[in-house]
Amino acid sequence: MTQPDAIIIGTGVIGAAIAFELAKAGWKTLSLDRNAQVGHGSTAGSCAIIRMHYSTFDGTAFAWEGYHYWRDWADYLGLPEGADLAQFRETGCLVMKTDANGQLEKHMRFSAELGCPFEELSADEVTTRLPIYSMDSFAPAKRMDDPGFGEPNGQQMRGAVLWPNGGYVTDPALSAQNLMAAAEAHGAETRTNAEVVEILQDNGRVSGVKLVDGSEIHSPVVINVAGPGSAHINGLAGVLDDMTIETRPLRQEVVHVPAPEGFDFEADGMIVSDSDIACYVRPEHGNHILIGSEDPECDPHDWADNDTGYSRDFTDQWTTQAMRYAQRVPSLGIPSKTRGVVDLYDASTDWIPIYDKSSLPGFYMACGTSGNQYKNAPIAGKMMAALVAYCEGGADHDSAPLRFTLPYIGREIDVGFYSRKREINQDSSFSVLG
């Protein structure tokens, strides 16, 4: 495809979803990725958590809508019977009530308004479901060199809220590959090992891309879905000046440990978010547990200078996260050999993504999504396809933002919520379950 209708930079789960939705709408799309395989950027390192609770109403609505596509994954894709599909495990998502999350009052109010099921659990009901758990409180989260690390603060956790439809996808890279296969069934094309080094422009409008091998591909629409490389691509396009929200690659470590002896966390565990100890966890194959950080204030952010030259070695952050979770699970065994994932998030200033046009006509962005938008990939693809059609049809999304109806739940949202020019959203939790 030498002159596609749209070039999509990135074949992660969101880039693949955008390709699928545009291809279904009749666009000739070409997806480019510098990696050798589809879905092998930050998507492959994702914990692939599907959750519904958010600290903003718009975030809750988007996530509740997004759940339905994973529930109906095979029907959504329309691939031939027998295709190897990623699996969604609906384990439930348990969120501990803390002062840091306002005892989840806002989250429950938003879910109730949207008809998203949830259930309040007492502390005793939490330990009935998770008998390995201690309900001592340790807040605020501390680092291991703090003299008070591991010492309860004398209070008890008050309980939690369970969103029963939460869960995780077993193979996030495969889910992106599923989406690209579905896109290709509608005529989309993909090129891997294709690194973009220049955004071409002509008469004040994007006109395509130049690749590292010197070849040029021309198109009137280019969409930046480059994950942790998104800021670099936006820089190549010269569109950073009018953005009040920036994106940067943020290095993260996820811990992989065996479940405590005598408890089958893979079968009986669930997603748990626990801001009291600043950890989230999910079951993993082989009765293991993945432990991620909720970015407490005491932990320094490890911003990467670029999205390629960062260290993939574990640091003392690995031990800190494992030990924090051991506060909640005293029987947790911490192996001497570190296992897990070191990867990058494409993090925005307020942890809310950018789904928007840019100051360069024809150049669009779906950025700041790593760690928090995997669950929303299908609906983000639909919304981005609608946004591109809206703007290419002559509308000014900056002055008259697109109103988009979420198909499953029937709610209309203002896509300007995700604007590159928005004020920092102080209702954001400024944290993530990645």
Q: Are residues 57 and 10 in the same domain?
A: yes
Full-model pTM: 0.96
The pLDDT value recorded for residue 430 is: 53
Q: Is 47 a member of any domain?
A: yes
Please tell me whether residue 242 adopts helix, strand or coil conformation: coil
Q: Are residues 200 and 337 in the same domain?
A: no
Q: Are residues 257 and 207 in the same domain?
A: no
The pLDDT value recorded for residue 432 is: 61
Rg of the chain taking only CA atoms, in angstroms: 21
Nearest to 167 by CA among 253, 52, 321: 52
Q: Are 137 and 156 in contact (CB under 8 A)?
A: yes
Q: Is 432 a member of any domain?
A: no
pLDDT tens digits, one per residue of 374-405 = 999 999 999 999 999 999 999 999 999 999 99
Q: Are residues 340 and 256 in the same domain?
A: yes
Q: Are residues 183 and 221 in the same domain?
A: yes
* DSSP for residue 124: H
pLDDT tens digits, one per residue of 263-317 = 999 999 999 999 999 999 999 999 999 999 999 999 999 999 999 889 999 999 9
Please tell me whether residue 208 adopts helix, strand or coil conformation: strand
Q: Are residues 271 and 374 in the same domain?
A: no
Domain that holds residue 233: 6-84+171-246+350-418
Q: Are residues 302 and 375 in the same domain?
A: no
**Residue 371 in this model has a pLDDT that exceeds 90:** no
The pLDDT value recorded for residue 408 is: 97
Please state the rounded mean pLDDT for residues 133-154.
Answer: 96
Q: Are residues 259 and 338 in the same domain?
A: yes
Q: What is the largest CA-CA distance in the chain?
A: 67
The pLDDT value recorded for residue 385 is: 98
- Count of domains in the chain? 2
Q: Is 424 a member of any domain?
A: no
The pLDDT value recorded for residue 426 is: 73
Q: Are residues 284 and 368 in the same domain?
A: no
Give 380-418 as a DSSP string: HHHHHHHHHHHHHTT--TTTSPPEEEETTTTEEEEGGGG
Q: Are residues 176 and 313 in the same domain?
A: no
Q: CATH code at 277?
A: 3.30.9.10
Q: Is 431 a member of any domain?
A: no
**Residue 425 in this model has a pLDDT that exceeds 80:** no
Q: CATH code at 178?
A: 3.50.50.60
Q: Are residues 333 and 273 in the same domain?
A: yes
Please state the rounded mean pLDDT for residues 194-213.
Answer: 98
Q: Are residues 409 and 274 in the same domain?
A: no
